[in-house]
Amino acid sequence: MSRNIALKKLPKPRQHHPATPPPLALPDLSPSLSALTPTTTAAAQTQLTQLTTLLKTHLKKSPIAITPEDLLHFLKSRLRHHPTLSHLDFHLFRYAATLDSFRHDHSTFEYMVRSLVSTSRLDSLPSLLEFISSNPCPCSDGIFSCPKIEPMFRVSISSFCRAGRFDDALFAFDIMKRLIDGKPNVALYNIVIHGFVKFGKLDRAVEFYGRMVRERVKPDAVTFNILISGYCRNNKFGLALEVFKEMKEKGCVPNVVSFNTLIKGFFQDGKVEQAVGMAREMIELGCEFSCVTTEILIDGLGRKGKATEAADLMVEFLKKGVLPRGFDYLGLVEMLCVDGNVERASELMDEFWAEGYAPILIACTTLIERLCGVGRTERSVELMRKMLNEGLVPDSVTFSCLLQDMCGTGGALEANKLRLLACRKGLDSDGMMYRILISGCMKEGRRKEGEVLVNEMLDRGFIPDIATYNMMMEGLAKSKGSLAADLGRRFSSPLETETIMLLNGEWYSKDQDDSSSYGTQLTLMSLLYVLNQECLLSKAFCNSSQGKQRSIERNDAKIR
């Protein structure tokens, strides 16, 4: 009994509830950390409240439980796409670093670097790089440095060089050298050298190249190409050649960019023979031509008035098999045509086409127009047929000009055949082509062929009204060798005039005034029927004679 009483007097154990984690502290929104942060206190306080609400909504953890993965997910999925708070990511990054239990790793470092670079917030980038230097990534706690350090600093150095901030670029370069294992990659030196050359600071580029050599980093072809380009830009071709020689002495094989830069520099300096010699040396060293190489050679020779020499040089390279497959000789064809050497341009196209270098469409149309201009219509037609067979469909203007020349030399039928071939290949005939062909049929007296074209033109809606149609049919009827002219010669006057008038679509007696006109106006379809059905022509003339007789009888009655 006493034992039970003693047990009852023992105090009950207290229930220990886990302490509620402290609320998430607010990040510092100091305007000095970002150029995009509003400078007014009210606006900063508003954004502070919005960011706090966003954090509480999507980051439901206490500060001691936040990991770099949580922060990175919040930055990527929530803050990055926010319309008004996305520029506060660096503030949140700095705030997270103040938490005792939090430590940034290379994932948050890399995201923050790329975010500042992509949004051009380069003023904040040096402080971030300093932070990375003083707070290394957890994976660098061992004997090796973090493998992401060099890529992060490469992005930073490149952005500084593009913006012309070379002091910041060199500052970042020096920090990176302390953090990485071994020597920096040659590409990082090339980025800085290229930045100096791009902004016209050739002396500083050469100075940094000297530092590169002193630090025992072996330059590559890109390094020498940048220096060669810098010297050529500053008209120092002698120094460019010295760099080229140094390049070969140090065992670095020149590439196509090296040769292209030097060839272009020689042309700019007026040294045409040296430029061509450099191209031949390029072949001897086994360096393949690029399309840029051929463009530089053609343009350089063309500017010196040596279009024929450029053509001969390209044919020489063609026979040696060094021209690139995408070689475009439009510029060469144009230069030859401008110089009046259309025949050479035509021969050149045939040579290249036979070797599998098909021309582009504009090269063909340019040559066709020039050939037509010098009266080489047959060669133009031959080239057009070859184009169409190869699937190269010209524009309607060029094709119409060729049809005009063909019809002008009595080749209306061949012109129409060429049009039909082009239509099968995808060319859409327009009204101008039909008018050219019909005009050619009129000149050659080809009534039937002309009528077929007129009917086709009518079906396709290229004839706006009956007057236009009648004008075309009248031209066909009066054309030399047409049916109307043949029939007209078989009758004597005055029936001859009435015959022609009947076939042209109207008949009336010229002896009567307008008020007493008794003739019958033939409709458009009646005219087509009469012209196309020769068996009814005699009936039409019979009706014409009967009408004439009735007119005479009425006139006699009036006189009496």
Residues paired with residue 506 on neighbouring β-strands, in sequence order = 521
Could you tell me the domains of the chain? Answer: 183-287 (1.25.40.10), 489-560 (no CATH)
pTM for this entry: 0.71
Overall residue count recorded for the chain in this entry: 560
Contact criterion met (CB below 8 Å) for 35 and 121:
yes
Give percent helix, percent strand, percent coil of the chain, each to the nearest 5: 70, 0, 30
442, 450 in Cβ contact below 8 A?
yes
Q: Could you give the residue ranges of the DSSP H alpha helices within 182-253?
A: 186-198, 202-214, 221-233, 237-249
CB-based contact 411:380 (threshold 8 Å) = no
Reading the chain (560 residues) residue by residue, the pLDDT tens digits are 455 544 445 455 455 444 444 554 544 444 433 433 444 567 777 877 888 788 777 777 776 778 999 999 999 988 888 888 888 899 889 988 988 888 999 999 999 999 999 999 999 999 999 999 999 888 887 778 899 999 999 999 999 999 999 999 999 999 999 999 889 999 999 999 999 999 999 999 999 999 999 999 999 999 999 999 999 999 999 999 999 999 999 999 999 999 999 999 999 989 999 999 999 999 998 899 999 999 999 999 999 999 999 999 999 999 999 999 889 999 999 999 999 999 999 999 999 999 999 999 999 999 999 999 999 999 999 999 999 999 999 999 999 999 999 999 899 999 999 999 999 999 999 999 999 999 999 888 888 888 899 889 888 888 877 877 888 888 778 765 544 444 344 333 333 333 334 444 443 333 434 433 333 333 334 433 434 444 333 333 344 444 445 444 544 444 34
How far are the Cα atoms of 28, 59, 87, 187, 442 from residue 37, in angstroms, in the given order?
Answer: 11, 23, 7, 35, 80
- Kindly list the distances between the CA atom of residue 269 and the CA atoms of 123, 127, 232, 233, 304, in Å, as whole numbers in the listed order: 42, 47, 9, 11, 12
Using CA atoms, how far residue 7 sits from 2, 3, 13, 330, 417, in Å, is 9, 6, 13, 108, 120
